[in-house]
Amino acid sequence: MPKIGLSTGTKWDGILQTRDDCRFVIPKSYKAGMLVDALIFASPKLIEYACHDLSLDQTANVAMLPGILRHSLAMPDVHQGYGFPIGGVAAMDTEDGVVSPGGVGFDINCGVRLLMSSLPVQEVRPKLRQLVDALFEAVPAGTGSTGPIKLNHTELDSILRSGSQWALEHNWATEDDIEHTEERGQMKQPDPAQVSERAKKRGNSQLGTLGSGNHFLEIQYVDEIFERPTADSFGLFEGQVCFMIHCGSRGLGHQVCTDFLSTMGPLMASYQITLPDRELACCPISSPEGARYLSAMAAAANFAFANRQLITFWTRQVMSRLFGEQGRLKLLYDVAHNMAKMEKHRVNGQQKEVLVHRKGATRAFPPGRSELGGAFLISGQPVIIPGDMGRASYVLVGTEQAMEETFGSVCHGAGRLMSRTRARKQRKASDIMAELEAAGIIAKATTRDGLTEEAPAAYKPIDEVVAAVYNAGIGRRVARLRPLGVIKG
């Protein structure tokens, strides 16, 4: 296997090894304490981006987590996070491995879903502004936004236990929605008692809200089909209008992460764990604290599933009002991209249960995996990849190669390229709005910063990121979608 050095003009020249055009390795000899090599999936251009922030050092630090299996992995959208890089994947041995709240992130079960209409773009365009306005009105977004549903303690605990199933019981979901949601919208072994009262208090008025930052609700249309049989089986066709929802567990999940960072940090010494970054705070999976975190995380993840399901319900109401029967929306799939999950994988020739952390990475399972129901058992799992509000998003499908190399994971988006500070300074919100409008995209945001910080130029080119996934063989392209309307928090 050729190992060629890179020339990026950064400290990584001479350290980072090029395995091929889409695989780059930081050998475990790079830093004392690394237990495995770090393997980064990228293109020559994307790896250069990664060399210019802390992404690669963070990927190397993750390789120090006790019990890590195979490699510390980074996806092509990798960028600097806290502790873990965003776009990082780490699978842990369940016997001697650790669980790290930072490996999941503050926004537990932040994820994306894609709703498909049967309407072609030309039928929606004349009503596009009306549709954007109606969605902006119907879906609470922005900082401090509260939803129309006020929950008492019992009801909130029920959501934490049941996720999308709770929404089904209240007629806010269909059985088909449940079938088309990762984990059927209900994580196993949640324990509401492990979610602090503070977390519950942050979350109890936020159900059914988008939040802010990079979260959005987009109206999109299918611009290109790459793999027709798979697109057909998913129900995607050229020109089709779709809706993409990106959000997570809101303040409830953020508080769970904050609580467990505080709990686990001081305990690490007692478990003889020393790591170079405090944000990597972790405890053994088998420890009481590890078990408590996983139960709290599962409960917060269920809140996120219910949250996306309610936003789906508001979106359906709007579509029904504007387009009647023709406005029906079918859920293609809902995927999480901030999660730690127990999954069966082949490690050293043996099938075993491992804990896979995906921090800004999406599960991408191939055909035949028992977790996939119905038609996806044959086609493989739809993987929803949001890009930026000006360019494109993608639907991919999982591959066997991903099982071999990435524990069945791919990227979660385009990945940020530019800091929020720089993005804010570079462009005015009105200029971004005008540019989007010139491209036929109507955007509406609760804050100016919501637009400037999320400007298309702040992100890596999604086509390049998805091409790197495709070239590495860890995901196949099914369809590309272009934005028509954007609702930002």
Partner 1 sequence: MAIELEHTADLGFRVSARSLDRVFEDAGVALTNLILDTHLIMRKESRKITLSSMTREDLMFVWLSELIYLFDAEHVAFSEFVATIVNAGRVGFRLEAFVSGERIDPQRHQIRSYIKGITLHQLQVAQDADEWYAEVYVDM
Q: Which residues are catalytic?
A: 412
Nearer to partner 1, 207 or 479 (CB): 207
DSSP secondary structure letters along 97-161: -EE-GGGT-SSTT-EEEEEEEEEEHHHHGGGHHHHHHHHHHHS--STT---S----HHHHHHHHH
Q: Is 435 a residue that touches partner 1 (CB under 8 A)?
A: no
Specify the pairing of strand 84-93 against strand 362-363. unpaired
Q: Is 265 a residue that touches partner 1 (CB under 8 A)?
A: yes
Q: Is 105 a residue that touches partner 1 (CB under 8 A)?
A: yes
Nearer to partner 1, 210 or 364 (CB): 210
Exactly one of 44, 120, 142, 367 binds partner 1 (CB under 8 A); which one? 142
Q: Is 53 a residue that touches partner 1 (CB under 8 A)?
A: yes
Output the smallest distance, CB 332 to partner 1, in A.
Answer: 27
Nearer to partner 1, 71 or 254 (CB): 254
Specify the pairing of strand 475-488 against strand 442-445. parallel
Q: Is 446 a residue that touches partner 1 (CB under 8 A)?
A: yes
Q: Is 148 left (phi over 0), alpha (psi -120 to 50) or beta?
A: alpha
What single-letter amino acid sits at 118? Answer: S
Output the smallest distance, CB 253 to partner 1, in A.
Answer: 8
Exactly one of 317, 426, 447, 471 binds partner 1 (CB under 8 A); which one? 447
Give the range of 6-14, 315-323, 381-389, 420-428 binding partner 1 by CB under 8 A: 420-428
Residue in the block written with tokens 């830093």: 31
Give the range of 101-109, 153-161, 284-292, 361-369 binding partner 1 by CB under 8 A: 101-109
Chain residues 180-219 in contact with partner 1, contact rule CB under 8 A: 198, 201-202, 211-213
Nearer to partner 1, 266 or 324 (CB): 266
Residue closest to 415 by CA, chosen among 359, 486, 365, 364: 359
Q: Are 54 and 79 in contact (CB under 8 A)?
A: no
List helix spans (H) across 380-474.
Answer: 400-405, 420-426, 429-438, 448-452, 462-472
Task: Count the helices and strands in the chain (H runs, E runs).
Answer: 17, 20
Q: Is 255 a residue that touches partner 1 (CB under 8 A)?
A: yes
Chain residues 215-254 in contact with partner 1, contact rule CB under 8 A: 251, 254
Q: Is 445 a residue that touches partner 1 (CB under 8 A)?
A: no
Task: Provide the sign of the torsion angle of the four alpha carbons 141, 144, 150, 152, taken in this order.
Answer: positive
Output the smallest distance, CB 181 to partner 1, in A.
Answer: 23
Residue closest to 405 by CA, chosen among 5, 25, 10, 56: 25
Which two three-digit tokens encode residue 172?
A: 């806010």
DSSP label at residue 368: T
Output the smallest distance, CB 271 to partner 1, in A.
Answer: 17
Nearer to partner 1, 261 or 356 (CB): 261
Residue closest to 144 by CA, chosen among 96, 210, 72: 210
Residue closest to 60 by CA, chosen among 40, 79, 38, 44: 38
Exactly one of 86, 383, 429, 481 binds partner 1 (CB under 8 A); which one? 86
H-run or E-run covering 480: strand 475-488
Per DSSP, the three-state class of 225 is strand
Residue closest to 486 by CA, chosen among 458, 451, 461: 451
Nearer to partner 1, 85 or 475 (CB): 85
Give the range of 124-132, 147-155, 300-308, 441-449 binding partner 1 by CB under 8 A: 441-449
H-run or E-run covering 377: helix 376-379
Q: Is 258 a residue that touches partner 1 (CB under 8 A)?
A: yes
Output the smallest distance, CB 466 to partner 1, in A.
Answer: 20
Output the smallest distance, CB 279 to partner 1, in A.
Answer: 5
Q: Is 261 a residue that touches partner 1 (CB under 8 A)?
A: yes
Q: Is 257 a residue that touches partner 1 (CB under 8 A)?
A: yes
H-run or E-run covering 230: helix 228-234
Nearer to partner 1, 175 or 197 (CB): 197
Question: Would you give the end-to-end CA distance of the chain in angstroms?
Answer: 47
Which two three-digit tokens encode residue 272?
A: 């003889």
Q: Are 406 and 474 in contact (CB under 8 A)?
A: yes
Nearer to partner 1, 366 or 489 (CB): 489
CA 376 → CA 267, 270, 275, 380, 413, distances in Å? 42, 45, 40, 5, 22
Q: Is 430 a residue that touches partner 1 (CB under 8 A)?
A: no
Exactly one of 126, 175, 421, 438 binds partner 1 (CB under 8 A); which one? 421
Q: Is 143 a residue that touches partner 1 (CB under 8 A)?
A: yes
Nearer to partner 1, 72 or 80 (CB): 80
Give the range of 235-243, 256-264, 293-301, 403-411 binding partner 1 by CB under 8 A: 256-264
Give the range of 60-68, 69-77, 104-112, 371-379 binding partner 1 by CB under 8 A: 104-112
Exactly one of 26, 119, 281, 403 binds partner 1 (CB under 8 A); which one? 281
How far is it, in rounded angstroms, from Cα 16 to Cα 6? Answer: 7
Residues lying near partner 1 in the complex (CB under 8 A) are found at 53, 55, 79-83, 86, 105-107, 142-144, 198, 201-202, 211-213, 251, 254-255, 257-258, 261-262, 265-266, 277-279, 281, 416-422, 446-447, 449, 453, 489
